Structure 1
Amino acid sequence: MTLNQLTDGQRQEVERQLHIIRRGAAEIVPEEALKQKIIQAVATGNPLKVKLGLDPSAPDIHIGHTVVLQKLRQFQDLGHEVQLIIGDFTGRIGDPTGKKETRKQLSEEEVQHNAQTYKTQLSKILDLTKTTFYYNSTWLGALKFDDVLKLAGKVTVARMLERDDFAKRYAANLPIHVHEFFYPLMQGYDSVSLETDIELGGTDQTFNILMGRTLQGAYEMKEGQVAILMPLLEGLDGVQKMSKSLRNYIGIDEHPNDIFGKTMSISDSLMSKYYELTTTISNESLHKLKQGLEAGTVHPRDAKMKLAKEYVRMYHGVHAANEAEQHFTAVFQKRALPDDIEETHLSIGRLEEGCISIIKLLVSLELQVSNGEARRSVEQGAVKINEKKITDIREQIALQDGDIIQVGKRKFVKIKLS
């Protein structure tokens, strides 16, 4: 079926959907096939099957992860079906993408535990009533050895070595274990089993996602899936991909004040990208925002404040967003201490002759997770007591009821001796 065979209303709907789906995408492979799938869906009223695979080894979702999740929600709002695959079987291997060495295999218990944490977090973005969850152990675990051999026979070793990470490890004489080759095969076989129309992922998943299209062809499926590849989002450092290990992330489950404060540190040059990829702002509003930032009629600080409030609203609600905005304004713009500082009890027994070392104090109050982190905070001038900066890691603090301890720009506690 072609576009010309549709009614005027149907043609407009096809163009509307393509306009939304193309937003922010780094690449669509092949784009003409996507258009044909949308035409068919609009003409017949049959929704497309849109797949996203999740690796259960890392269940804590941050803003970088939401790039593909927001695109998935757009497909839901357009009336299409979402296939959300929990890779409980593939997770036992671990995706080797970008890894210089073989990943540690997860136990079944670890995979199941991590998988259970996803639904609560995903409900903040996706409509779970329109989402079908699958565990790929359902079909992968049922394969017999001759089935596995047939699957392995669909792709050559030379094709596998086209992957950049495998090629680099091979050239460096680093080990590549045979089971790692099976990760893209299994991810591709997911698309065969579910007859997926479209698969989403970041640009670092290009090889794995295109493998699904390759295998669908090898299994003589009529139409291969379309790959929609989304850009990787730079983190708060403005350079490297957002990552928890690099500590340049904004977690969607973090405290509202932390989400707000971290958002305010985003690079001005990345403002439009964050809006485009991680919010539900309309394409028209996004265009106006970009024009305003380029022309100087919209101040980057104001756009950042709006983005920070939007993130808190999306993941914690309107009330929390208003409170986080008020907290930030009071603490950072007016340089005042917040009114609602959490009171923390500290046992007098922890004091030595009425004093406690600044390092022990920060760890005891759980303001830092380790002595090393506490020392770095002091050395970097990030620690204050009653608004007085502490810079000596050996300093002994004589605490009193009501003392306010501050670490960085967002952590405050009020001491209650007991």
Structure 2
Amino acid sequence: MSKTTAANIQRLTERGVVEIFPGGSAALAERLATCDRPLRIKLGIDPTRPDLHLGHTVALRKLRQFQDAGHVAILLIGDFTAQIGDPTGRSEARPRLSAEDVEANSETYLAQARKILDFETPGRLEIRRNSEWLGQLTPSQIVELQAQMTVGQMLAKEDFSQRYASGTPIYLHEFLYPLLQGYDSVVLQADVELGGTDQKFNLLCGRDLQQWRKQPQQFGLLLPLLEGLDGFQKMSKSLDNYVGLTEDPLSMYSKLEKVPDNLVPKYFELLTNWSLAELPDNPRERQIVLATELVAQYHSPEAAERAKQAAREIVKTGSSDATAAIPEFSLAAVNFPAKLAYLLREAQLCKSVGDARRQVENGAVRLDGEKFTDPSQEFMTAEELGDRVLQVGKKRFLRLVP
């Protein structure tokens, strides 16, 4: 039996949800209220890049909400479909990835997904790769799959219709993507599939193929796309308007405290558990609370407080952009293990080891906002220090890079 209470149902079907089909939120709410078993909730992610940003977490957080309500989350790694490339939102074909690149990206995705999903509770998470079944399809099975959809239906997809009208090539393998993605729902026997608003066509394909295979058809639950820090375009690494999950606390904080005022409520709604009725009235205070909350989520409350303090100190130097104000220092030439005093001299933040010792003992040295008082503090590897900010006094900062 699931643990889907009335409060959980409202949260699952209303907060941060754009559309539920068929039947809207009332139909899914009824299904959740009357189900006699945990539902199977599918989220597919194609590992086309090695890292995740906050835009990806919107769907992951909704998947976690279903887990917490007692349902089974299915995190589908599209290692096969990633080699085709989702044509959604594309004005031209995606570059094809190698199997090796996809596998490497998959591992980093899973490591980052642990920050959000419950990997520990037995029976609450299935991690699947669609190469398990798609890689085994025979030519005759692929032909049978293609026979379930017409060229006219494919061209009704907005991205394809625009490319066709403009004379931009559409390759045959791209037509396979929504079919194969829909076939995943058949194999996984999904009850609900999550996706962004740009994924509706793909989710409908899943329903059609389940009907073809005489399975109960999944609900489609569409979530909003998160605008990036520029305030109007979808969050994307290629547009450099993103906040990455693996960014250091100071970089993450400094970006988030500058989220445009009009987007702050949306960020709270999609990225936190805060009640929107309890947000601070002051717009600047909202930005600070948002930045602190999200850094605490993905690092720790202590790291969030240190990042807040460090950001304030950097702003005192007169820079309007805290992250851009910090020059980088490569750790490649540093001999590890390395003591803190030696590191400060090598980074030219102090004139000598003696000067470094005095600065540390006087409480002037911080790493990502954390004060150090032992000049003999030893660091074993460059990776231990990478992407952290080393600070001496109020005006000298360096970002350490491996």
TM-score for both structures, normalised by structure 1: 0.74
SS class of match (1:50): strand
Deviation readout 1:342-382 (Å, 9 max, x if unpaired): 995899xxxxxxxxxxxxxxxxx9xxxxxxxxxxxxxxxxx
Q: Which residue of 2 aligns with 1:315?
A: 298
Q: Tell me the distance in 2 between the aligned counterparts of 1:300 and 1:143.
A: 54
Do the aligned partners of 2:48 and 2:105 also contact (CA within 8 Å) in 1?
yes
Do the aligned partners of 2:9 and 2:33 also contact (CA within 8 Å) in 1?
no
Q: Tell me the distance in 1 between the aligned counterparts of 2:289 and 2:233.
A: 24
RMSD (Å) for aligned C-alpha atoms: 2.9
Q: Which residue of 1 aligns with 2:398?
A: 413
Query: What is the deviation of 1:335?
Result: 5.6
Q: Which residue of 2 aligns with 1:111?
A: 102
Structure 1 residue 54 corresponds to structure 2 residue 37: no
Q: Tell me the distance in 2 between the aligned counterparts of 1:79 and 1:17.
A: 11
Q: Which residue of 1 aligns with 2:342?
A: none
Structure 1 residue 167 corresponds to structure 2 residue 175: no
Do the aligned partners of 2:50 and 2:104 also contact (CA within 8 Å) in 1?
no
Q: Which residue of 2 aligns with 1:253?
A: 246
For 1:70, the aligned partner's letter is: R
- Cα separation, partners in 2 of 1:344 and 1:167, compared to 1, 3 Å: closer
Q: Which residue of 2 aligns with 1:326?
A: 309
Structure 1 residue 136 corresponds to structure 2 residue 126: no
- Cα separation, partners in 2 of 1:317 and 1:346, compared to 1, 3 Å: closer
Which residue, 141, 148, 151 being the options, matches 1:147?
Answer: 141
Q: Which residue of 1 aligns with 2:90?
A: 99
Structure 1 residue 287 corresponds to structure 2 residue 277: yes
Do the aligned partners of 1:14 and 1:38 also contact (CA within 8 Å) in 2?
no
Structure 1 residue 176 corresponds to structure 2 residue 170: yes
SS class of match (1:320): helix
Q: Which residue of 2 aligns with 1:121?
A: 112
Q: Which residue of 2 aligns with 1:185?
A: 179
Structure with greater Cα Rg: 1
Q: Tell me the distance in 2 between the aligned counterparts of 1:121 and 1:243.
A: 17
Q: Which residue of 1 aligns with 2:17?
A: 25
Q: Which residue of 1 aligns with 2:234?
A: 241
Deviation readout 1:265-312 (Å, 9 max, x if unpaired): 11111110000001122xxx22232xx5xxxxx101111111111111
Which residue, 173, 188, 194 being the options, matches 1:194?
Answer: 188
Q: Tell me the distance in 1 between the aligned counterparts of 2:189 and 2:57.
A: 25
Do the aligned partners of 2:17 and 2:222 also contact (CA within 8 Å) in 1?
yes
- Cα separation, partners in 2 of 1:333 and 1:277, compared to 1, 3 Å: farther
Q: Tell me the distance in 1 between the aligned counterparts of 2:260 and 2:204.
A: 33
For 2:311, the aligned partner's letter is: F
Do the aligned partners of 1:90 and 1:187 also contact (CA within 8 Å) in 2?
yes
Query: What is the deviation of 1:234?
Result: 0.9
- Cα separation, partners in 2 of 1:411 and 1:230, compared to 1, 3 Å: farther
Query: What is the deviation of 1:83?
Result: 0.6
For 1:124, the aligned partner's letter is: K
SS class of match (2:308): helix
For 2:397, the aligned partner's letter is: F
Q: Tell me the distance in 2 between the aligned counterparts of 1:330 and 1:124.
A: 29
What stretches of structure 2 of length at least 5 have no aligned partner? 333-346, 348-388
Q: How many residues align?
A: 332
Do the aligned partners of 1:259 and 1:308 also contact (CA within 8 Å) in 2?
yes
Deviation readout 1:202-254 (Å, 9 max, x if unpaired): 11111111111111112111x21011111111111111111111111111110
- Cα separation, partners in 2 of 1:27 and 1:343, compared to 1, 3 Å: closer
Q: Tell me the distance in 1 between the aligned counterparts of 2:329 and 2:84.
A: 43
Q: Tell me the distance in 2 between the aligned counterparts of 1:414 and 1:214.
A: 51
Which residue, 197, 202, 220 being the options, matches 1:203?
Answer: 197
- Cα separation, partners in 2 of 1:124 and 1:346, compared to 1, 3 Å: closer
Deviates more, 1:104-113 or 1:83-92: 104-113
Which residue, 227, 232, 235 being the options, matches 2:225?
Answer: 232
SS class of match (1:128): coil
Q: Tell me the distance in 1 between the aligned counterparts of 2:132 and 2:330.
A: 50
Deviates more, 1:91-100 or 1:32-41: 32-41
Do the aligned partners of 2:8 and 2:69 also contact (CA within 8 Å) in 1?
no
Q: Tell me the distance in 1 between the aligned counterparts of 2:30 and 2:138.
A: 36
TM-score for both structures, normalised by structure 2: 0.77
Deviation readout 1:44-63 (Å, 9 max, x if unpaired): 2x111000011111231111
- Cα separation, partners in 2 of 1:344 and 1:233, compared to 1, 3 Å: closer
SS class of match (1:117): helix
